[in-house]
Amino acid sequence: MTFGDKKYRYRFALIFGILLLFFLVLFSATVGAANISIFDALRILVRRIPFAGRFVPAGEISRTHELIVLNIRLPRVIAAAIIGAGLSAVGATYQGMFANPMADPYVLGVSAGAALGASIAIVMGTDKVVGGFGIITAVAFVFALLTVFIVFNIAKTGVKLSNTHLLLAGVAVSFFASSVMSVLMVLNRDKVSNITYWMMGSIAFTSWRQVLILAPLVVAGIVVVCVFARELNIIAVGEDEARSLGVEVEKVKKLLLVVCSVVVAACVAVSGVIGFVGLIVPHTVRLISRSDNRVVLPFSAIGGGMFLVLCDTISRIPTAEIPVGVLTSMFGAPYFISVLIRNKKKVV
Amino acid sequence: MRQGKAYSIEVRDIEVSFGDLNVLKGISLQMEKGRFYGILGPNGSGKTTLLKSMARALRPQKGAIYVNGEDISRMKARELSKKIACLYQSTGIACDYPVMDVVLMGRYPYIKRFQTESAKDWEIAKKAMIASNVWHLKDRRINEISGGERQRVFIARALVQETDIVLLDEPISHLDIQHQIEILELVGKMAREGKTIIAVLHDLNFASMYCDHLIMLKDGKVIAQGEPQKVLTEETVNKVYGVKPFIIEGMDGSRPYILPLKRQGA
């Protein structure tokens, strides 16, 4: 079936997916260590929704419970949805653009750069908060963008951006940043556990202010990427061919690279390195449906959001919280392998 | 502006070099609407570079290329893609798009952002696919069909682009003879229906059989051009390829047929 035949079915599925993600976020905010019943938590949430809230009686909900649900759980759950969506959409874009199934959101060195920035901030002992942001977050964001900027400039030849050069420069710069980070860790052994914990990826301490900056940035990025899905499809057939069809390949690539880099840098700066989401979610979407980017990009975003919210919910159940970055791989890998095996059978 | 007749495509004194290597050393050509041109020459003679320059995939360091008298280097990308379609050597493509979607990509220059393909685009695609005999493949995936079928799908895509000029880079390499003939006949028909067809070819005999006009390149220069019987002479073939041919004349009308001979002492 071609894209056109299924256009309306995809639109319906997309709206359904967005609603599902919305309810998943609500549900996830009712789960946690504090002893708040799901019913109470739902009441707290629904009361905050305009109009609908009027019909929910206030009852006897303690102020602490309200604070826990609204100011601790809700921002982190929303952050999970946004970061998951952003990482998956970028992963899908890179896989399409580089024609490389192994491309993930971190291939251009964003994660290594952010980690280096974060470790420098941790080593210097600046855990101050400026305007709702930890210094660590800010430094990680700046270093992430700086790293990609260096990678771009290494890879650029004239006006052209070669995929191979980009990927190789990304790998080389990543290794360099990681080695500098290792030296920092060796010289500051007392900070090793802090740095390692940051690297594992966690969204446990996300504030509303972080969410309010992260959300528009990432959502706008996802929209831009989805708008260019048609160009990405054509580029995937061949860059020369795309040019002869009137696609301005270099412009499109540069625009998408800049947008994706900002999205990933923002996500990583807030959450640390959450791996695997950007790799497996797009591939799962491709295996289940098809490789048309007009389908893969939006559904990867929604799927990534749902996946990270689920992982984050699970990470809150045990008494000692497990960083969500660990769980994504722990649950994601087996699921992905099972999809892979099922598909192998289909082909043979 | 230039004076005189506006050719379908005119190459005027272009030079292309990659670093120190001069690949095209001053090439001028005039091509007319409704004819099938074949570019011939040994490996490294600059055939593909010439084709890529005409498709603006490369920018010549010197000279210019005009389409109906208009300099292509000044055109916007979408504007150019409504005038020239280019089929590159179709490598085994790594995606699994349905054939219909691949053909519809040819409508890209006509579809505005935030728009999807209209019923009219679908009609155009259907017509092109029937013309190139791939309509029955519309729901198959592009990586599942044979090389000959895939080449016809890309020709359908070029038709859908609705250009006056179609460039083809070795459209029949790696195909078996029945598909080679099928493609050349399809492309020849497109020329008779008014398009300017320019193809890089390797097979001298197929070029002789199907092209109206041949352009023989060697070392970045045009050695000979004109009707097949004028270009494919013993002297030219020997000069360009360093091979002594035996030429059978007039097998198909007046078109020569070439048998390469074993080199002496080899």
ipTM: 0.85
User: What is the DSSP code string of A129-147?
Assistant: EETTEEHHHHHHHHHHHHH
Nearest alpha carbon to residue A102 among A111, A94, A90, A114: A94
Of A234, A248, A291, the CB nearest to B105: A234
Contacts across the A-B interface (CB distance below 8 Å): 80
Does this model's pTM top 0.90?
no
Q: Within an 8 Å CB–CB cutoff, is residue B86 touching chain A? A: yes
CA nearest to B54 within chain A? A244
Sheet-wide strand order for B62-67: B21-31, B9-18, B62-67, B70-71
pLDDT score, position A89: 97
| pLDDT mean across residues, chain A | 86
What's the average model confidence in pLDDT over A22-42?
Answer: 80
For the cut 90, the answer to whether the pLDDT of residue A193 exceeds it is: no
Least confident stretch, A48-57, A272-281, B111-120, B244-253: A48-57
**Distance, CA of A82 to CA of A53 (rounded, Å):** 25
**CB atoms B55 and A1 under 8 Å:** no
Beta bridge partners of B24: B16
Q: Within an 8 Å CB–CB cutoff, is residue A246 touching chain B? A: yes
| Confidence category of residue A16, pLDDT binned at 50, 70, 90 | very high
| Confidence category of residue A141, pLDDT binned at 50, 70, 90 | very high
Least confident stretch, A23-32, B32-41, B63-72: A23-32
**Distance, CA of B188 to CA of B210 (rounded, Å):** 7
pLDDT score, position A348: 44
Q: Within an 8 Å CB–CB cutoff, is residue A4 touching chain B? A: yes
For the cut 70, the answer to whether the pLDDT of residue A56 exceeds it is: no
For the cut 50, the answer to whether the pLDDT of residue B79 exceeds it is: yes
Residue A64 CA from chain centroid, whole number: 30
Of A99, A245, A248, the CB nearest to B105: A245
| pLDDT mean across residues, chain B | 89
Q: Helix count (H) and strand count (E) of chain B?
A: 9, 12
Q: Within an 8 Å CB–CB cutoff, is residue B140 touching chain A? A: no
Of B56, B96, B109, the CB nearest to A291: B96
Chain A residues in contact with B61 by the CB 8 A cut-off are none
Q: Within an 8 Å CB–CB cutoff, is residue B113 touching chain A? A: yes
Query: Which of B82, B108, B153, B155 should be substituted to probe chain A, the one whose Cβ sees the most A Cβ atoms within 10 Å?
Result: B108
| Confidence category of residue A237, pLDDT binned at 50, 70, 90 | confident
pLDDT score, position A133: 63
**Distance, CA of B161 to CA of B155 (rounded, Å):** 10
Q: What percent of chain A has pLDDT over 90?
A: 44
pLDDT score, position A156: 85
What's the average model confidence in pLDDT over B233-255?
Answer: 83
Q: What percent of chain A has pLDDT over 70?
A: 90
pLDDT score, position B48: 92
Residue B110 CA from chain centroid, whole number: 22
For the cut 90, the answer to whether the pLDDT of residue A122 exceeds it is: no
What's the average model confidence in pLDDT over B65-81?
Answer: 92
| Confidence category of residue A260, pLDDT binned at 50, 70, 90 | very high
Of A238, A244, A292, the CB nearest to B97: A292
Q: Within an 8 Å CB–CB cutoff, is residue B48 touching chain A? A: no
pLDDT score, position A128: 61
The predicted-structure confidence for A164-190, as pLDDT tens digits, reads as follows 899 999 999 999 999 999 999 999 888
Beta bridge partners of B215: B39, B225
Q: Higher model confidence: residue A36 or residue A229?
A: A229
What's the average model confidence in pLDDT over B166-179?
Answer: 91
Of B57, B81, B139, the CB nearest to A2: B139
**Distance, CA of B247 to CA of B256 (rounded, Å):** 6
Least confident stretch, A213-217, A251-255, B36-40, B89-93: B89-93
What's the average model confidence in pLDDT over B153-170?
Answer: 94
CB B141 within 8 A of CB B99: yes
For the cut 60, the answer to whether the pLDDT of residue A45 exceeds it is: yes
DSSP H or E segment with residue A315: helix A293-315
**CB atoms A248 and B77 under 8 Å:** yes
| Confidence category of residue B5, pLDDT binned at 50, 70, 90 | low
What's the average model confidence in pLDDT over B127-155?
Answer: 91
What's the average model confidence in pLDDT over A204-233?
Answer: 92
| Confidence category of residue B1, pLDDT binned at 50, 70, 90 | very low
What's the average model confidence in pLDDT over B35-58?
Answer: 93
Q: Within an 8 Å CB–CB cutoff, is residue A230 touching chain B? A: yes
Q: What is the bridge-based pairing of β-strands A133-134 and A156-157? A: unpaired
**CB atoms A241 and B88 under 8 Å:** yes
The minimum CA-CA distance between B250 and chain A, rounded to whole Å, is: 38
Quick count: other Cβ atoms within 10 Å of Cβ B171? 25
Of B77, B95, B139, the CB nearest to A246: B77
- Ordered by start, the domain boundaries in chain B are 95-162
Task: Match 């459209």 to its residue by tokens.
Answer: B171
Beta bridge partners of B9: B31, B67
